Chains A and B, each alone.
Chain A
């Protein structure tokens, strides 16, 4: 069936800010979807509040609204745009919920908007556990035994009937928020209380615990001619009980016979038909009893998901794109397979490799939170790795996490083993490492399987790794053994460690022996057909498949797994640069390990390398492709950290030279530079011991900003106000030594913080924007709300900031992007930090002022000059506010106070003609709408008291109650304002 002609204009809903459980995979999906719809000639209207997304770049939709994803706002847009259809299945649970709300309010009916991709009844059936249960009965499928409770008492009564342990779930939630595993009545009471409160309809589901059952997911697609295909089967390494977002997963399924797999496939077909997904995709989760093969349906998501993004990357089958095309009326047999170009999409991908996904957590950011993993998702990112064997994919994935996985851990001692026996049964972020340690200590896979419920297959495969490592221990360099080790996935770094060599030596010797990887294509069809779209991974085999180069090649390094402080924003820069350079005569190669991103969509680059971002793996790509240079400044710290190794290996770095990067990074070199340029920096010291640190702090005078020498996202950073504070910090945070010193800066209290993003070609400097932080200096810039144009700064200060930025850029020899953070106090501008690389704010600035900074940077890096490019002037006629979104609801008990350590996972943008409205929109978009009634707490220091009278009066007039601390209350009363005194 050809595309629908009754629809001309389609509104697409994005997913909003990045939160745990809903990350940039929805930018990937949305970007694909928008592109697909536009390619069919539809007019696309996009709504998404997240400015850091690629999809909100102007070219991906005909009209883009960077506005809060709220029914009131969506209605206004619908009223104005009059779309024929609404596509809500690409924007995660947020978009789905919004669509349901719009339908329920009658908005869709009023304006004649059709819901496409999934009907209201399909969404409701999939999401409402009761309807879902009935549908599954009709489809002849079994769900876990269960019942509902709307009160804690009901819950307890039900719990007694079903027997513990039990799983608690509440409807309409994302990433399992409000879900939990309970083992007794006490835990049930607590979970029921939280779950009922978190559930929009005030009810929770209590069900049979399938703890220890095997878990699988199928990605299913159906078109309006009722053709159904399974895109991918994913098997979870961790058994039931761990949220799939927190599980290591593997594709395709490994331990199912064809009979069992087909039974699951049959069930999936019945389910998608029963739920009536007419033209789109869904994800269905299954569990299988490890000893009997009994099967249960866990849930179904009638939309693209984290898993579908993973499945797309794992198979080369672009689920979001196809979903959009199906929603627009095409059928699977009419859509060509992107990769082969010749065969149709109505097939099921056949893999000839193994894919492993490993989550990455950020527990180090949330110290007091329990590290146990359960049914509530807590990971902030993930990596995917491809290998021809499971050990190879696992080891590649593990080192791609950038958490030290390029070295295998040693065997656990008997005492440690005793501890592990207690800790292993409960999943935690270290379980993979602990399994390696236990296997190395000769604990059998059978025993570990008994402890953890992990299928013995995985453990035996891991044992291949530890057994081989044992062999490596006993011998020195042996060519055959090294070759075998590389085939199993061992890193050069680990071999170096075993052989007592340097990593570089291992690499040289290995290459001399001809032990080099080949690059193989991901082609959806197990090599049955010629692949046209190039998507590659490395492995140690015979035949490489890289095509002959036609143009000069540029390699862009991505940013690896999402983490707090390094996520979507950097991917945005990589994607923009790739798209730009492709149009400028280059073959653009991207190397990245993050399956959630747009950069790992094979459509973005000329060739995609799904590889860990370690020196070894990147150099392998460089050796295979011989690019004219590598771009390291766009992907954040991850590629930047590789600059040294690349530089030493003689690989040209495009843009700012390695020396320039080092000059900015190296604290003492940078301090000298600042002095030489006669600029100002807060006074600082470096301390290699506890005593020196305390002495330095005394010299600087408190408060002092302290941090470990290597930081990302302000990891471990703190403002200390007293010696006691500092002692406490040194005790808890810092492994202080001469090699890993602690940095101390004089903290400028009460200063304003300014951020600047600029592009420089070595001479000309283009300042994208000067951003003013609303919070005072000391809150990590990633957690601050900031505004363009600056709201309180005078022209003089702004000009001074611009002047300093230009001076610094030239002095550092910046070719590409640079971000500088300043503190302004008493009209003095202090440099806090200068980073000659992309920053988190580049997408925000680009959207706020209409200048594609990353694209300009890419052109500059490949030799163009700003004076020739002649970019437009930044447009600051609108006010844009960027507001962070914080994950505290995931980490009960965590202190919600902000500081120099970044804790936000994402951001939203509010944009309007004036500051107030822009700020209000940003609040709306972040899910923290400004309250329109209630009580306001005021506590104002003496210097500012006079300026508060007007505001307090205004608030009282608007009907807010006021409470204040004693001094403030007294002051306000003197001015005739009613206020209640507290404290």
Chain B
């Protein structure tokens, strides 16, 4: 047992939690949120959508199977900090190449363990997510609370620029590549806007038979359309979608021209592009067990979710979209299909990673739509059915 430094998580409302520090010796601020998935901490921590957030894991035993080179969802740890009840110091798994502590330490991310994460979760559930300051170098409650209060609020915060790629890239068999993958040359092209894209989305798009090109968040629509894409993908990403005016504009433009598929933030951008409003949820949906019901056929998917904002279904233009998917838990909008154009989107994460694979048909539907459309005029899509 290594001696761990004293650490503290201070919330903007003045509540503090004491624990032991792990990972980097540093301090960070962010929106404190919780995720209820019991597996997949490496994927979650490297999910760019968690940028700006301090992530609490409700499952108390974290680090059990270590970390490895394969389970990355981006090239970095994206959450600001990690909050766990019981950190595993000696992991065990045939794929493990190191410990979670060492990974966080090497990437400059602080973690806190040993606190009552259930009390924290209940607090966030009842009071709503709030800003916090996580420190593994100070336990001065007053100062940390003050830092939490001074940190930016998530509402109105544009974060895509922090996590998007700087240069466009291709996604090949072995991941990111600068040159067009030879094997994919003849396949239909999907251009993916990177607002903080998860790699598993790219893996699945490619697995569906696409040639995949990723472009930075601020790439103008004209530039994308000039690539003659067969489809455009709008990625997930962190922060509030509303201030992303450049992305909303681009979305509006591509939607008129090619089949478009959006996930999470991408879904919100489609909503905004068509004139809807987005709202912030009290404590968000974050986990891997959320039921989503397709109201057309009653099919239930157990889904992976990670969103703090949502499209306000009531503000979508009348009749433009068919509202297809809803949360089984709170009835909020989870997916929609445009009635006359090949545009559809889901608020949850059909690529999972981590989480169940129930929602993979979204990718197949996109592939079908793009395949059918090649050279023809735009037609609406159908999504649904079983994995």
A332 to B1, alpha carbons, bound, how many Å? 45
A347 to B292, alpha carbons, bound, how many Å? 9
Contact of A389 among B68, B70, B85, B95 (CB under 8 A): B85
B332 within 8 A of A: no
Query: 9 pairs across A/B with beta carbons < 8 Å?
Result: A252-B38, A257-B68, A257-B71, A291-B94, A346-B293, A346-B328, A350-B36, A528-B34, A543-B118
Q: Chain B nearest CB: distance from A121 CB in Å? A: 21
Q: Chain B nearest CB: distance from A405 CB in Å? A: 21
Q: Which of A458-479 touch B at CB < 8 Å?
A: 460, 464, 467
Give chain A residues whose Cβ lies under 8 Å from the Cβ of B125.
Answer: 527-530
Give chain B residues whose Cβ lies under 8 Å from the Cβ of A525.
Answer: 36, 289
Interface contact B357-A352, CB-CB below 8 Å? no
Nearest-CB residue, chain B, relative to A254: B64
Interface contact A293-B59, CB-CB below 8 Å? no
B76 within 8 A of A: no
Interface contact B302-A350, CB-CB below 8 Å? no
Q: Beyond A254-B61, A344-B328, is A455–B92 a contact (Cβ under 8 Å)?
A: yes
Give chain A residues whose Cβ lies under 8 Å from the Cβ of B299.
Answer: 225-227
Q: Chain B nearest CB: distance from A839 CB in Å? A: 41
Interface contact A347-B355, CB-CB below 8 Å? no
Interface contact B60-A354, CB-CB below 8 Å? yes
Which residues of B come within 8 Å of A, CB atoms?
A: 1, 17, 34, 36-40, 42-43, 58-61, 64-65, 68, 70-71, 85-86, 88-95, 115-119, 121-122, 125, 283, 287-291, 293, 298-300, 302, 328-329, 352-357, 386-387
Q: Beyond A333-B293, A525-B36, is A353–B60 a contact (Cβ under 8 Å)?
A: yes
Interface contact A262-B291, CB-CB below 8 Å? no
A254 to B116, alpha carbons, bound, how many Å? 20
Q: Give 13 new A-B contacts, CB below 8 A, not counting A256-B93, A528-B34.
A: A225-B298, A252-B59, A258-B354, A259-B70, A265-B357, A346-B291, A347-B289, A348-B356, A352-B121, A460-B92, A528-B125, A529-B329, A543-B118
Nearest-CB residue, chain A, relative to B124: A527
Main secondary structure of the interface of B (DSSP, over half): loop
A348 to B42, alpha carbons, bound, how many Å? 21
Instruction: Identify which of A230, A332, A350, A520 gathers the most chain B CB atoms within 10 Å of its CB.
Output: A350
A252 to B116, alpha carbons, bound, how many Å? 19
Interface contact A350-B287, CB-CB below 8 Å? yes
A343 to B117, alpha carbons, bound, how many Å? 22
Q: Chain A nearest CB: distance from B51 CB in Å? A: 20
Contact of B61 among A292, A354, A542 (CB under 8 A): A354
Give chain B residues whose Cβ lies under 8 Å from the Cβ of A347.
Answer: 289-291, 302, 328-329
Instruction: Produce 1/0 per residue, A328-350, CB < 8 A to B.
Output: 00011100000000111011111
Interface contact B119-A541, CB-CB below 8 Å? yes
Give chain A residues whose Cβ lies under 8 Å from the Cβ of B328.
Answer: 333, 343-344, 346-347
Interface contact A352-B60, CB-CB below 8 Å? yes
Interface contact B88-A258, CB-CB below 8 Å? no
Give chain A residues whose Cβ lies under 8 Å from the Cβ of B288.
Answer: 258, 348, 350
A137 to B64, alpha carbons, bound, how many Å? 32
Main secondary structure of the interface of A (DSSP, over half): loop
Interface contact B59-A229, CB-CB below 8 Å? no
A543 to B121, alpha carbons, bound, how many Å? 11
A280 to B121, alpha carbons, bound, how many Å? 33
Interface contact A292-B39, CB-CB below 8 Å? no
A543 to B125, alpha carbons, bound, how many Å? 15
A225 to B297, alpha carbons, bound, how many Å? 9
A1 to B116, alpha carbons, bound, how many Å? 41
Interface contact A290-B94, CB-CB below 8 Å? yes
Give chain A residues whose Cβ lies under 8 Å from the Cβ of B38.
Answer: 252, 350-351
Interface contact A527-B121, CB-CB below 8 Å? yes
Give chain A residues whose Cβ lies under 8 Å from the Cβ of B65.
Answer: 255-257, 457
Interface contact A543-B85, CB-CB below 8 Å? no
Nearest-CB residue, chain B, relative to A520: B118
Interface contact B68-A262, CB-CB below 8 Å? no
A261 within 8 A of B: yes
Q: Chain A nearest CB: distance from B200 CB in Å? A: 10
Interface contact A389-B86, CB-CB below 8 Å? yes
Q: Beyond A346-B300, A346-B328, A457-B88, is A258–B121 a contact (Cβ under 8 Å)?
A: no
Interface contact B302-A460, CB-CB below 8 Å? no
Interface contact B94-A292, CB-CB below 8 Å? yes
Interface contact A456-B92, CB-CB below 8 Å? yes
A390 within 8 A of B: yes
Q: Beyond A262-B355, A347-B291, A351-B59, is A542–B116 a contact (Cβ under 8 Å)?
A: yes
Nearest-CB residue, chain A, relative to B289: A348
Q: Chain A nearest CB: distance from B356 CB in Å? A: 6
Q: How many A-B residue pairs have CB under 8 A?
A: 172
Give chain A residues whose Cβ lies under 8 Å from the Cβ of B90.
Answer: 445, 456-457, 460
Give chain A residues whose Cβ lies under 8 Å from the Cβ of B36.
Answer: 350, 352, 525-526, 528
Q: Beyond A265-B357, A527-B122, is A352–B58 a contact (Cβ under 8 Å)?
A: yes
Instruction: Produce 1/0 per residue, A296-334, CB < 8 A to B.
Output: 000000000000000000000000000000000001110
A675 within 8 A of B: no
Give chain A residues whose Cβ lies under 8 Å from the Cβ of B34.
Answer: 526-528
Closest 8 CB pairs of A and B: A258-B40, A526-B58, A258-B354, A543-B119, A457-B92, A526-B36, A542-B116, A258-B39
Interface contact A543-B60, CB-CB below 8 Å? no
Q: Beyond A333-B328, A542-B116, A542-B119, is A527–B58 a contact (Cβ under 8 Å)?
A: yes
A691 within 8 A of B: no
Nearest-CB residue, chain A, relative to B353: A258
Nearest-CB residue, chain A, relative to B327: A343
A352 to B125, alpha carbons, bound, how many Å? 15
Interface contact A528-B121, CB-CB below 8 Å? yes
Nearest-CB residue, chain B, relative to A334: B298
A455 to B65, alpha carbons, bound, how many Å? 11
A194 to B122, alpha carbons, bound, how many Å? 56
Q: Which of A233-260 touch B at CB < 8 Å?
A: 252-259
Q: Chain B nearest CB: distance from A255 CB in Å? A: 5
Q: Chain B nearest CB: distance from A447 CB in Å? A: 14
Instruction: Produce 1/0 per residue, A669-700, CB < 8 A to B.
Output: 00000000000000000000000000000000
Instruction: Identify which of B94, B121, B355 gathers the most chain A CB atoms within 10 Å of its CB.
Output: B94
Q: Chain B nearest CB: distance from A325 CB in Å? A: 15
Q: Chain A nearest CB: distance from B80 CB in Å? A: 21
A525 to B42, alpha carbons, bound, how many Å? 21
Give chain A residues whose Cβ lies under 8 Å from the Cβ of B356.
Answer: 262, 265, 348
Give chain B residues whose Cβ lies under 8 Å from the Cβ of A256.
Answer: 39, 65, 93
A388 within 8 A of B: yes
Interface contact A350-B59, CB-CB below 8 Å? yes
Give chain A residues whose Cβ lies under 8 Å from the Cβ of B89.
Answer: 460
Nearest-CB residue, chain B, relative to A530: B125
Give chain A residues whose Cβ lies under 8 Å from the Cβ of B117.
Answer: 352
Nearest-CB residue, chain B, relative to A229: B302
Nearest-CB residue, chain A, relative to B117: A352
Interface contact A259-B300, CB-CB below 8 Å? no
Give chain B residues whose Cβ lies under 8 Å from the Cβ of A352.
Answer: 36, 58-60, 85, 117-118, 121
A266 within 8 A of B: yes
Nearest-CB residue, chain A, relative to B1: A467
Give chain B residues whose Cβ lies under 8 Å from the Cβ of A342.
Answer: 329
Interface contact B287-A526, CB-CB below 8 Å? yes
Give chain A residues whose Cβ lies under 8 Å from the Cβ of B387.
Answer: 269
Give chain B residues whose Cβ lies under 8 Å from the Cβ of A467.
Answer: 1
A896 to B115, alpha carbons, bound, how many Å? 55
Q: Chain A nearest CB: distance from B199 CB in Å? A: 13
Nearest-CB residue, chain B, relative to A528: B36
Q: Beyond A331-B298, A350-B38, is A528–B58 a contact (Cβ under 8 Å)?
A: yes
Interface contact B298-A333, CB-CB below 8 Å? yes
Q: Chain A nearest CB: distance from B189 CB in Å? A: 28
Interface contact B61-A390, CB-CB below 8 Å? yes
A256 to B68, alpha carbons, bound, how many Å? 12
Instruction: Identify which of B65, B91, B125, B300 gathers the most chain A CB atoms within 10 Å of its CB.
Output: B300
A631 to B103, alpha carbons, bound, how many Å? 52
A389 to B34, alpha carbons, bound, how many Å? 19
Q: Chain A nearest CB: distance from B62 CB in Å? A: 11
Nearest-CB residue, chain A, relative to B88: A457
